[in-house]
Amino acid sequence: MSTVDCPDVLTALARGLELDAALERHRASCADCAMHSVGIGAVARAIAALPAVSPPPDIDERVLRAAASLLADNARAAAPLLAGHARVATLDGRSLVRALVPAVLLFPLLVVADVWLLRMLHQTLAAILPGALTTWLVLSYAALLAALGCFVFGAIPLLVERQAPLLGWKEEHVGP
């Protein structure tokens, strides 16, 4: 059961909506809502009667001009912080190989485990559901596993490239 409060009634009135039975009952029984509903209705009608306002055509230039000094101050303040990290890290082959070797070695194990899981799933569902539905469910699940596997193994080079800038961090800050 939902309860109706004053904000529900007043919000509906401010938006110009018709009150349903529950809101109308609350407004009739609540002195605050009865008192405020007259004023809110008048304000909502007055706002609705106002003409639409469009921004001046040069607002973009004025905002950028006003913010230019703040942007320049922030850029000057950030320059020393960015000076030590200006080098662009590149992805080398060794990093990629180090990331791919465990994945490639584990891939056959993952395929065997998935095939075993799919067979067990098919056998279990075949005892409960019709054959065509069981096959469809298992093939749908197999397609999902294949898609997830592609995403995971396809993300490895991207993750290695993203981590490349952090490779030298330990040597710079902690030591060898």
Q: What would the 3-class secondary structure string for 96-142 be?
A: HHHHHHHHHHHHHHHHHHHHHHHHHHHHHHHCCCCHHHHHHHHHHHH
pTM exceeds 0.85 for this model: no
Do the domain assignments include residue 88? no
Do the domain assignments include residue 132? yes
Do the domain assignments include residue 18? yes
Domain of 148, in residue numbers? 93-173
> pLDDT digit string (tens) for 103-117?
778 888 888 888 898
> pLDDT digit string (tens) for 62-120?
888 888 888 888 888 777 766 665 455 555 677 677 777 777 788 888 888 888 988 99
- Is 98 found in the same domain as 36? no
Predicted local confidence at residue 1, as pLDDT: 42
Give CA 143 to chain center in angstroms: 25
Instruction: Give the mean pLDDT of 143-164.
Output: 79
Overall residue count recorded for the chain in this entry: 176
- Is 167 found in the same domain as 102? yes
Task: List the one residue out of 79, 89, 81 whose CA is nearest residue 171.
Answer: 89
| 25 has a pLDDT exceeding 50 | yes
Do the domain assignments include residue 158? yes
pLDDT band at 140 (very low <50, low <70, confident <90, very high): very high
Do the domain assignments include residue 59? no
Do the domain assignments include residue 44? yes
- Is 43 found in the same domain as 103? no
Listed as own residue / partner, the contacts of 107-116 with beta carbons closer than 8 Å and 24 or more positions apart are 107/153, 110/149, 114/142, 114/145, 114/149
Structural domains counted in the chain: 2
